[in-house]
Structure formats: structure tokens, C-alpha cells
Amino acid sequence: MRDTIMRRAVITGGAGFLGSHLCERLLAEGCRVVCVDNLITGKLANLAHLRDNEHFEFIEHDVSQPFEVAGEVDYVLHFASPASPIDYLELPIQTLKVGSLGTHNTLGLARAKSARYLLASTSEVYGDPLIHPQPESYWGNVNPVGPRGVYDEAKRFAEAMAMAYHRYHGLEVRIVCIFNTYGPRMRPRDGRVVPAFIQQSLTGEPLTVFGDGNQTRSFCYVDDLVEGIYRLLKSDESDPVNIGNPYEMTIREFAEEVLRLTGAKSELTFHPLPVDDPKTRQPDITRAREILGWEPKVALADGLAKTVDYFKGLLAASA
């Protein structure tokens, strides 16, 4: 990479929930940022506060199609992909393409620019896990032909391709395995439990619980996640690293916490569990602690309060 003060980063999917926070963080760290997004699930509103920054550039493009970025590039961060079940179930082919062709194209860009490459992988590579909590050494329990397989296998393939470029071409590769994350800029009805419960509680609707509510998740606030990703980007670690909050709770417990924070009186309604939906999800973050000196700092109540305020603002703006 260039030995200069201001580095340049390309972030695919930069108009999405996580991508927009990463754009913000890298700009704050003194980087120039090129955001590439086809807006299939991302929103320009997530970038509105960055558009006047002279060090920020937006390119509307589907990275599953070949593309070039003029000039020197130091980092390529590949975050483009539908990431919620409602999205990748509606967009299965696009999800597979961005995980395969998009990964190939972005790896090619990184190689051409001699840039460091960071891949956004996911806890979904572990499927419905048989080991608990899930360490990076676990190979997963994934149904490749089930409806969720389009996302799970796209990310597993992306990891394999990134490591192939690392081993064959000597490309500097970093892989972050992202566990459930929440915070401002999530879409209100993207199918994930955090925005669903908050939106439903604020509008007086029943909270939709799938299964019996005893399945578990571990929720990490977005600021903590971005800190972990940034530390991984700057590290020398090429193997996958779990970034997430190891504090585990049931979906029913999470619903009760949302109701407590919002003061809502909504009831819980129970629906059949979706096919291949994981029963447990908890990251083993031993490697993140040892290699990156990272662990989450934001308490669930504090992070949820900020997220609830964000959703209140959206509802007020749409009223």
C-alpha cells in the first residue's frame, strides 16, 4: 500500500446499513472513500450527511458487473449484498451473483490496485449450528439447497475465493464474520427482528415472534461492530474473525426488552419458524479479543435506546 497520509478506500454496499457507517468511520479516520452501491437495498438517505464531504465519492453500480475505479486504491471493503432474509429470499439470484461475481470483481480490483481486501462474511456461514458458541474453526451446518442457502453459500463461496486470492496471488485479505448487528439506519421493515419489534411496538402492532421465542440471538451495536471491523482492516490477520456480542438472549427476552424501552403494551403473536432458521446464535470472540484487543462496549439498553430514537424520527418524518 502507498506510504501516504490520506489513504483511499472503496466500499461496496456503502449505502446500506453497515456500509454507510463504515463510510463515515473511514472518512473520520482520514481516508478518502469511494462508495459503490446499486441501491437495490441501500438508500441514498444513509449517505446524505456525507455527500458534501470533498473526500467522499458515490458511484451507482452493480458490482456483479465488471467495473473500474480510476486512480490509486489502498483498501477494498466488499459489503455489497442483500443481508436480511426478506431481501435475499426475494432476490436469490442477485444474492448469489454479488457473493460470487461481485466478490470476483472486487478481488480483481484489489489485486490490480495492490490494495488490502476486507470481505464482509456472516454468522450465517455456520448455518443452524451444532456447536455452541460458534468459533471460527467451526465449518457449519448449512442446507445448500434450502431457501436460506442462497445467502449462506454465497458467503461461504466468497470466503473461499478470498482465501484463494490470498494464497495464489498473495493478496492481503481480511475476513470479518459478522453476527447480528443493530442500530440507526436499519430499514424499518427489512424482516430482521430488531427493526421489526421496534417498529411494531412504536405503532402499537403485535410483535411477530417466529417459533416459540426460545431461539437465541446475540445483538451487537453498530458502533462496536465498526470498531472491530476497523481494527481487523488495520491488522495482519488473514483468517476469518468473528465480530459480534457474545451476550446471548432468547427472542422472547429481547421482545420484553423492546417493550420495556418503548413503553408499549403490544402483545406477542407466534408464527411458524422459517425453514432452516437457526435455533442458536452466539459468537466465540476469543480471537477478536486476543488478536484485535476488541470486545463490545455498548450495553443493549443503551444501543436499543439510540435505535428506538432513530425509528421514532422516521415515524415522525412520515406522519
Residue-wise pLDDT tens digits, 164-215:
999 999 999 999 999 999 999 999 888 899 999 999 999 999 999 998 999 9
Secondary structure element (H or E) that encloses residue 20, with its range: helix 17-28
Cell 470481505 -> residue: 119
Catalytic: which of 75, 88, 117, 151?
A: 151
170: left (phi over 0), alpha (psi -120 to 50) or beta: left
Smallest Cα–Cα separation from 39: which of 154, 208, 187? 187
Beta partners for residue 19, in sequence order:
none
Place of cell 432458521: 277
Q: Pull the grid cell for residue 23.
A: 463510510
Concatenating the DSSP letter of every residue in 58-107 gives: EEE--TTS-----S--SEEEE--S--SHHHHHH-HHHHHHHHHHHHHHHH
**151 given a catalytic annotation:** yes
Domains of the chain: 8-181+220-243 (3.40.50.720), 186-217+248-281+298-318 (3.90.25.10)
**pLDDT score at 5:** 64
> What is the reported pTM?
0.96
pLDDT value of residue 48: 97
Q: Tell me, what's the pLDDT at 85?
A: 87
Respond yes or no on whether the N-terminal peptide bond of residue 144 is cis (omega within 30° of 0): no
Q: DSSP secondary-structure letter at 146?
A: S
- Which sign does the torsion angle of CA 189, 179, 162, 234 carry? positive
Residues of the chain with pLDDT under 50: 2-4
Phi, psi of 263 (to 5 degrees): 75, 15
Burial class (CB in 10 A: 0-12, 13-18, 19+), 156: buried
For the beta carbon of residue 58, count every other beta carbon within 10 angstroms. Answer: 18
DSSP strands (E only) in 183-250: 207-210, 216-218, 220-221, 241-243, 248-250
Residue with cell string 459489503: 79
Instruction: Tell me what pLDDT residue 318 has.
Output: 84
Q: Taking Cα atoms as reference points, which of 119, 94, 96, 115 lies closest to residue 42? A: 94
| Residue-level pLDDT at 3 | 47
The rounded radius of gyration (Å) of the Cα atoms in the chain is: 19
